[in-house]
Amino acid sequence: MSTTPDWIDPIADHFRHKGWARGVAPFDSHTIASVRAEIEAIWEQRRNASPDRFAVHRPELPRLHRVSATLGAFVRHPVLVELAARIIGPDVDMLWNQAHCKAPGGNPLGRYPWHQDGFYAPVEPTGGYSCWIALTPTRAANGALAGVTRDDDRSLRPHVWNPELTYYVCEVTEEESDVLEMEPGEFVLFDALWPHGSGPNTTGEPRIAYSLSFAQAGTRLKATGQPYGDRVPIVRAGRSVDDVMAELARDPAGTGPGHHLLEELLGRMPEIGDLIRSRFAMYREALLAGDDARAAACLTELVCSAPDEAMVLGDLLRSRGIPDEIRRELRDLGNKDPQARRLLLGRLLELDPGDEAARAELAAMAAVES
Ligand SMILES: O=C(O)CCC(=O)C(=O)O
C-alpha cells in the first residue's frame, strides 16, 4: 500500500467532512456474486431456525467471518484494506460484520427505523466506520439504505425505545435525508453518528447487503473500557495483514509488524496459544510451498482465531455497555429465556456491581439450579 489508489481520495474526504460517504469501489463482480451466494446460503440454512418475527422479515446474520471461509477472507479484501488504512490509520481491526437481508413481501417489520449506531455501543477512540455494501440492486421500493445527507449536525440525537420495532429510534426529517439507491458492489461508509434507516421491501425479490465495521486496533467500549468486537486484524503498520504475515513466514526470525501481530494474538488469547502457533505453521508451510489459495485460507483461520463469545438475542453480550438499557432488555425478556436472562444479569453486575436486585435474582437462579 505504498500509493493511495485514485478512487479513495474523494470517498475519504467526504467521509472526513460529513461522517458518511458513498462510493463505487473496484470490487470485481465475481467477488460480489460469491459474497452474495454465500450469504444467501447461510440465510437459507437459518431461515427456519428462529421463531423471531424479525428473523423472517429482516434477518440479521452476524459474525459471518466465523462460519464462512469466503466471508472470512472477504474481510481482508484489498479494497477494504486500502480504505481502512487510508481513512482509519496504520492499525485497523474488523470489529463486527453482519448481512442485512430483507425478505420480499413488504411486511412493515422489514424496515429499520432511524437510528445512530453510536447510541448502541459507544466506543473510543472514534474514527471507525461501517462499510455497508449492496449485494443486490437497492431501491426505495426494496428498502434501500437511507440517511441524513443534507445536514452536517454531528451530534448524538435522543433515541426513544419503540417496543413494536424493538429498537431505539431517533428523529430524522424528510428534508434532511435521502434514499441512497445502489447497484451491487456500491457501498456507503458511515460513522457511529450517521442517522440512517431503511424501509420495507415491497418487491418480490430479496434485498441483501453486507455491513462490516472497522476501527482502530485497541478500540474499547466507553462504558467499561473493555476491548470491543471480534477484533480481526486487517492492517498493521500501514500494511495489509497478508503482507506483514507473508514477510514473517519468509523470515520467521524477523521482528517486523508480522512478528508483533503474532505476539499480539498470543498475548490476547493465551488460552489458545498452541492453536495460534499451529495455524501460523500451516500458513507458513502453504505459503512457502507456493500454494497461495491454501495460504490465504490458513491466514483467515489464523486471524479469525478468537474463541466464540456469548451472544444474547443476536448481539454480543459485551456490546452492552449501558446498565439502564440492559434493565430494559430484562424487562422485555421476562422469563422467556432463562439462559439469556442469566447472561444479561451477569453483564449488568459487571457494569453496575451495586445493583442488589440483579445480584439477588442471579443468586435465586443459582439456588433453584443446585
Ligand atoms: O440494511 C439496512 O437497511 C440497515 C442497516 C443498519 O441499520 C446498519 O447497518 O446499522
Q: Do 190 and 215 contact (CB within 8 A), yes or no?
A: no
**Among the atoms of ligand 1, which is closest to the Cα of residue 115?**
7
* Terminal Cα-to-Cα distance of the chain (whole angstroms): 58
Task: Report pTM.
Answer: 0.89
Q: How far is the CA of 123 from the centre of ligand 1 (A)?
A: 18
295-327 per-position pLDDT tens digit: 999 999 999 988 777 778 777 787 787 888 899
- Distance (angstroms) between ligand 1 centre and the Cα of 61 equals 12
Ligand 1: atom nearest CA of 98 is: 9
Atom of ligand 1 nearest to the CA of 117: 10
Distance between Cα 147 and ligand 1 center (Å): 10
Ligand 1 atom closest to residue 130's alpha carbon, by position in its atom list: 9
The residue type at 13: D
- Residue 222 grid cell: 466507553
Q: How far is the CA of 145 from the centre of ligand 1 (A)?
A: 7
61, 112, 214, best to mutate for ligand 1 pocket (most atoms within 8 Å of CB): 112
- Residue from 100, 179, 187 whose mutation best tests the ligand 1 pocket (most atoms within 8 A of CB): 100
Q: How many A from CA of 257 to the centre of ligand 1?
A: 34
Residues of the chain where predicted confidence (pLDDT) is lower than 50: 2
Across 34-73, b (16+ Cβ under 10 Å) vs e yields ebbebbbebbeeeeeeeeeebbbbbbebbbbbeebebbbb
Q: What is the distance in A from the centroid of ligand 1 to the CA of 10?
A: 23
Tell me how far the alpha carbon of residue 236 lies from the centroid of ligand 1, in angstroms: 28
Instruction: Supply φ then ψ for residue 332, to 5 degrees.
Output: -65, -35
Name the residue with the closest Cα to ligand 1, atom 10: 117
Place of cell 430484562: 330
pLDDT value of residue 3: 63
Give the position, in ligand 1's atom list, of the atom nearest the Cα of 211: 9
Angstrom distance (rounded) from CA 197 to CA 175: 15
Kindly give the distance from the C-alpha atom of residue 191 to the centroid of ligand 1, in angstroms, as a whole number: 12
97 vs 128: CA distance, rounded Å: 13
Ligand 1 pocket residues where CB is under 6 Å = 100, 112, 117, 130, 132, 143, 145, 196, 198, 209, 211
Distance 279 CA to ligand 1 centre (A): 34
pLDDT of residue 255: 96
For β-strands 160-162 and 167-169, DSSP reports them as antiparallel
User: How far does residue 21's CA lie from ligand 1's centre (Å)?
Assistant: 15
Q: Which atom of ligand 1 is nearest to the CA of 196?
A: 7
Atom of ligand 1 nearest to the CA of 143: 3
Contact 184, 32 (CB under 8 A): yes
Domain boundaries, the chain: 8-216, 240-303, 311-369
Mutate to test the pocket of ligand 1, among 60, 97, 114, 132 (most ligand atoms within 8 A of CB): 132
Give 193-224 as a DSSP string.
T--EEE----SSS-EEEEEEEEEETT-EETTT
Q: 8-216 maps to which CATH number?
A: 2.60.120.620
> Quick one: cell of 186?
456500491
